[in-house]
A = this chain, B = another copy of it.
């Protein structure tokens, strides 16, 4: 038996398989999922219609009905959209379409982790341009400096950004679109919780695409449906790297049913926004930790150094509350955060109570 590791691609050496961090918990606030789930009537409608699906046939390659439902609801024709197996898959497609080995993908630091992961997987390198450490605002000049280098290819800007939860100034992003001479992807995964969009600008520029997802506001993380919006020239190019049957028939159907019931689902989006605003105020009242304003379905809480952050994380986990520790080399060693998804009201109350208890213990200890 040979043991010759020349088989593997060299630049995968540094890549580690994704670790889903599955820890036992009662209240799941670590993945920015919709805590209300799908309303039962909608889930029943999806399953009722699924009785008529012939699962033995390949899916519609372009998810035609869904593509039309989404694009028409936005006043666009269906040649402006690609549906993906989650927006993750579309990030991958974008890297493949606009970057390549030896080229650089640019985003912010911190940013959504998948931009770097898919850059690495595809052999591109990744540059995260630090946000201003104080207010998480965009350093558009530094991004433009990177973008003007010969090896720059593709820029991802999350709007609002994850994990910081804020919107960058629109005029800074427009400057990047206009001056970078790179493809610019504005990732609006949390759009429904903040309401601002670059969508009207896709017809004005030939280097702008918008990412959206059904995973956050529309309770469909488990079914993996995201979409990319851009002008038809860009869409045609991205379709070249699309897997012929990337989105399964059931997920196409489920998202179609969701499009027909958007108004119903918006009720839960409003509840999440209301809970977010309540939590931001309450957390500031009961804990010494800095709470950042959020336009998403999560809150960023700055705890302090790594030890303290781990302590708070584990105290919450002991009570069954799973949140996400986050940091970034951009910030100094003493800046660790918890990214906490907005749960249901009763879950948030338990969270607040426990944050209050932890604060009490920390104060007494010191």
Binding site for B on A (CB under 8 A): 1-4, 6-12, 15-18, 20, 28, 31, 33-38, 43-44, 47, 50-51, 53-62, 85-86, 88-89, 92, 96-101, 114, 117, 121-123, 153, 181-183, 204-207, 215, 219-224, 236-237, 239-246, 248-251, 254
Please name all residues of chain B whose beta carbon is closer than 8 Å to the beta carbon of A97 when the two chains form the complex. 8-9, 12
Query: Nearest chain-B residue to A222 (Cβ)?
Result: B249
- Would you give 10 A-B contacts (Cβ < 8 Å), ordered by A? A9-B96, A9-B100, A12-B97, A36-B56, A47-B50, A59-B222, A85-B246, A88-B243, A100-B123, A221-B245
Please name all residues of chain B whose beta carbon is closer than 8 Å to the beta carbon of A183 when the two chains form the complex. 7
Q: Contact between B51 and A47 (Cβ–Cβ < 8 Å)?
A: yes
Please name all residues of chain B whose beta carbon is closer than 8 Å to the beta carbon of A55 when the two chains form the complex. 37-38, 43, 219-223, 254
Query: Nearest chain-B residue to A91 (Cβ)?
Result: B243
| Contact among B15, B16, B244, B249 for A223, CB-based, below 8 A | B249
Q: Contact between B47 and A98 (Cβ–Cβ < 8 Å)?
A: no
Q: Contact between A245 and B86 (Cβ–Cβ < 8 Å)?
A: yes
Q: Contact between B12 and A240 (Cβ–Cβ < 8 Å)?
A: yes
Q: Contact between A222 and B53 (Cβ–Cβ < 8 Å)?
A: yes
| Contact among B33, B57, B62, B224 for A56, CB-based, below 8 A | B33
CB distance from A65 to the nearest CB of B (A): 13
Please name all residues of chain B whose beta carbon is closer than 8 Å to the beta carbon of A17 when the two chains form the complex. 236, 239-240, 242
| Contact among B11, B34, B59, B206 for A2, CB-based, below 8 A | B206
CB distance from A346 to the nearest CB of B (A): 17
Given the interface pairs A9-B100, A237-B12, the reply to whether A85 lies near B88 with Cβ below 8 Å is no
Please name all residues of chain B whose beta carbon is closer than 8 Å to the beta carbon of A207 when the two chains form the complex. 2, 4, 7
Q: Contact between B9 and A222 (Cβ–Cβ < 8 Å)?
A: no
Please name all residues of chain B whose beta carbon is closer than 8 Å to the beta carbon of A117 when the two chains form the complex. 244
Please name all residues of chain B whose beta carbon is closer than 8 Å to the beta carbon of A239 when the two chains form the complex. 17-18
Please name all residues of chain B whose beta carbon is closer than 8 Å to the beta carbon of A254 when the two chains form the complex. 55, 250
Q: Contact between B58 and A33 (Cβ–Cβ < 8 Å)?
A: yes
Q: Contact between A245 and B224 (Cβ–Cβ < 8 Å)?
A: yes
Please name all residues of chain B whose beta carbon is closer than 8 Å to the beta carbon of A1 when the two chains form the complex. 204-206
